[in-house]
Amino acid sequence: MQKINLLVNLPAAFFAEPRLAGVFARLEKSAVLRKTSHNTAAEIETDLAWADAVLMWSWPALTHELLDKAPRLKFAAQMGVSQAAARIALERKFPVSDAHRGWSPAVAEMALGLILSTLRKISLYHAAMRAGTEGWVRDFPIGVDPDERQLTGRPVGIVGFGAVGRRLAELLAPFQCPLRVHDPFLPNDLARQFRADKVPILELLEFSDVVVLCAACNPGTRHLLGPAEIAAFRKGAVFVNVARAALVDTEALLARLRLGDMYAAIDVFDKEPLAADAPLRALPNAFLTPHRAGGILASVERILGQLTDDLEAHLAGRPLQHALTEAMLPALDA
């Protein structure tokens, strides 16, 4: 079989990572690869016109203008795709394999880790042990911190019940947590399948000890958690954000955290890297991680493997396992 021209447009570090060499070797069995790291439409235009297929992240977006200038291009395999680019592809009936769900297992695991670490104060104990300032309970159980709590049986709310939210629900099952979910696109029967109550967001916030945000970021979800929602958090609540910072009114969250009556574990920020003098860094009830939820090598290997599977399926005339569809639009970031 004649090899196709495949443009692989990814950050340069992907090509330098030796543990991904096997993926590119597999692609070379069915395609002539051209590896690039273009960031703009002007940069990618010429190489895209050469390609029969492209494997890429979500940028530069495949606009009408770019696709018009790439008549040979018949397939795109993407690690992520924006709502706008997805609508263009669907409108043109241009086949796209979208493997963004491949990030979900790692993100859900990070969310569970942040829940447990915050409830059990794991990171605080670790830091104190490193510094030699830890306190040892001498008069058990009198000396036990009442704010150190177990997850088992504790009511949890999940905002956004796509691939991340559903995987998190599976991970939470052994903890026997009463589960509430908020997602306007979630079918009622699917909520029942996960033994979750589908509720309005304010009800979820008022009745959950732990709230995890994993909704998509688009115009409809910007500041989904605004002042009214943040005021509705229970006292002592743990809020975990593994979605996007734009879904939260950061100033309102800061004001609530300064009251000292709730906790937040945050992996995403309005501006990244987070400034050294950012107010969140100074709050003892804010637990911060540097946008690490999904970005582990296992995620990249899984996603590139899924995209390669779909490229091979496309070339063989078989159905795609990760085909972009209209139903996926609400789960995509803007």
Q: Say which of 87, 291, 301, 312 is annotated catalytic.
A: 291
Catalytic: 126?
no
Catalytic: 301?
no
What does the alpha-carbon distance between residue 56 and residue 39 come to, in Å, rounded to a whole number? 11
Q: Say which of 244, 256, 302, 322 is annotated catalytic.
A: 244
Beta bridge partners of 53: 6, 75
Beta bridge partners of 166: none
- Two tokens at 216? 């998509």
Catalytic: 272?
yes
Neighbours of 57 (CB within 10 A): 15
What does the alpha-carbon distance between residue 166 and residue 41 come to, in Å, rounded to a whole number? 35
Q: What is the CA angle 122-175-103, rounded to 5?
A: 75
What does the alpha-carbon distance between residue 257 and residue 235 come to, in Å, rounded to a whole number? 11
Q: Say which of 65, 148, 170, 272 is annotated catalytic.
A: 272
Taking the CA atoms of residue 97, residue 216, residue 155 and residue 117 in that order, the dihedral angle to the nearest 10 degrees is: 80
Tell me which residues are annotated as active site: 244, 272, 291
